[in-house]
Amino acid sequence: MRGIVTLRLLFACAGALAIAVPASAQSTYSAYAETPSAALVRHIHTLTSDPKDFGALIGAGKASLDIGDPQAAAGFFARADEVSPRSPLPQAGMGSVSVANGEAGAAMAYFSRALQLGAPLSTIACDRGLAYDLLGQQRQAQADYRAALNGPDATEARRRLALSLAISGDKAGAIQTLAPLSARGDAAVNRVRAFVLALTGDSRGAMVAIDAAMPGSWSRVSPFLQQLPTLRPEQKAAAVNLGIFPDANAPALASASASSPYAASVTTDRLASIDELLRGSTPQSTPTWQSAPAPQQVAYVAPPARKSTPVATTAGQRKIWLQLASGSNSAALPTEFRRLKSRNRDLFDGISGYVAHSPGRARLVIGPFRGATDAETFKADLETVGIDAFNWTNSESDKIVPLGTQ
């Protein structure tokens, strides 16, 4: 169990977005967004008045998955299916519940039914891809993740695709897949990158990445990162996506409830109260979900803006960038950037170039980055495809403008 506790620590501390939460339930919560716990309370209040409100049942199911409670989610989705048996949403939800429980075979049956009822592939592909990974069918998993890149779960699909490629031994492909997330300052990318490196046998690189995500934690997680390459493909997928890691005796589950920042414990009283509520009766006791916080303004440090957003620095704004090229003729820099981007489209997805004007020199740069660690991570990604770059911090007098407007 010591190994499971350590993995739980890794999942809990490495970022605000836990991989173990199914993609169909995940949302990106902005500074003013409703938390999953608050969403669950809101849907429960709706169901108090109308236990057959289909939208509230689906919403409650997704919110339950968000807080790491697949058992409660299954109950909501089952009731939603009774209300609207021809809708694909309850079947897709049950598929996500099965994935969260590590039950890949059961998940496939639900996803097949959801597709038959008209669910677009892009809406279930991220979780179905994980089911394929849990079955050791990485090629099919990767096809699904790529289909999900055009759907609502694109960011999570990119993370899972990188992990699946690493399980297949494609380290370069995995790093390139993560590169756009690294450039955007994605909260979970250092953890995922550490898993990618560990899965492909780069234990030292994995330790550096983990230490960047959780300073001082490498000594506690190093035994498990070193063991990852020795697992079977399906075991690797379960370990890095769900926290299910085989110990000396039997597999054990480091559940999403321990890794979610909104985790809520599952109790018999709580489930009984929900059952009574949805049957239209008055709960005999106060369920634990009633103590969840109401929607509120949340302060998560905001990540840097997407690099495709035109910006220009003014006096006093010192930022960290990566320099790709330089010279006295700024007119040649757009051609150079187009050349780099055309050869590495995935790596430069969503990234625009800028020209930094200094006395006697023009620099082709990308950024700005949140900090030196993020810049170094993307620099390492560029090195995997043979692109040399180095950190550069602008001075107060440098003028930086979007490429093409210099």
Q: Answer whether residue 302 is part of any domain.
A: no
Report the alpha-carbon distance of residue 121 to residue 6 in Å, rounded. 36
Residues in the chain: 406
Amino acid in the structure at residue 376: E
Q: Answer whether residue 305 is part of any domain.
A: no
Report the alpha-carbon distance of residue 352 to residue 308 in Å, rounded. 5
CA distances from 314 to 84, 308, 331 (A): 57, 18, 22
**Domain final position from 259, 276, 295:** 259
Q: Can you give the residue range of the structural domain that contains 392?
A: 320-402
What pLDDT does residue 137 have? 96
What pLDDT does residue 348 have? 85
User: Is 314 in contact with 396 (CB distance < 8 Å)?
Assistant: no
What's CA 221's distance to the chain center, in Å?
20
Same domain, residue pair 371 and 237: no
pLDDT, tens digit, 9 for 90 and up, residues 177-203: 998 888 888 878 888 998 999 999 988
User: Is 233 in contact with 136 (CB distance < 8 Å)?
Assistant: yes
* Average pLDDT in the chain: 77
Same domain, residue pair 253 and 328: no
**Domain final position from 212, 240, 259:** 259
CA distances from 101 to 50, 107, 230, 327 (A): 29, 9, 23, 56
Q: Answer whether residue 273 is part of any domain.
A: no
What pLDDT does residue 24 have? 53
pLDDT at 158 over 70: yes
Residue burial 247-276, b: 16+ Cβ < 10 Å; e: rest: eeeeebbbbbbbbbbbbbebeeebbebbee
**Confidence at 5, pLDDT banded by 50, 70, 90:** very low
pLDDT, tens digit, 9 for 90 and up, residues 214-236: 777 767 777 888 888 999 999 99
CA contacts within 13 A on the Cβ side of 316: 0
Same domain, residue pair 201 and 350: no
User: Is 172 in contact with 380 (CB distance < 8 Å)?
Assistant: no
Percentage of the chain exceeding pLDDT 90: 41
User: Is 237 in contact with 137 (CB distance < 8 Å)?
Assistant: no
Report the alpha-carbon distance of residue 251 to residue 102 in Å, rounded. 11
- 365-391 mean pLDDT: 84
Same domain, residue pair 255 and 325: no
CA dihedral of 44, 45, 47, 50, whole degrees rounded to 10: 180
**Domain final position from 259, 282, 301:** 259
Per-residue DSSP letter, 319: -
β-sheet bridge partners, residue 251: 246
The more confident residue out of 302 and 399 is 399
Q: Answer whether residue 199 is part of any domain.
A: yes
pLDDT at 315 over 50: no
β-sheet bridge partners, residue 362: 327, 357
Report the alpha-carbon distance of residue 84 to residue 90 in Å, rounded. 8
pLDDT at 276 over 60: no
Closest by CA to 211, choosing from 371, 12, 13, 367, is 13
pLDDT, tens digit, 9 for 90 and up, residues 19-65: 344 565 454 334 357 889 999 999 999 999 999 999 999 999 999 99
Report the alpha-carbon distance of residue 65 to residue 21 in Å, rounded. 7
3-class DSSP state of 42: helix
pLDDT at 103 over 80: yes
Task: Give the containing element (helix H, strand E) for 199.
Answer: helix 189-199
Give Cβ neighbours of residue 169 (< 8 Å, ≥ 6 apart).
200
What's the CATH number where 194 sits?
Answer: 1.25.40.10
Bond before 368 cis per omega within 30 degrees: yes
- 81-107 mean pLDDT: 95
Q: Answer whether residue 277 is part of any domain.
A: no
**Confidence at 247, pLDDT banded by 50, 70, 90:** low
What's the CATH number where 375 sits?
Answer: 3.30.70.1070
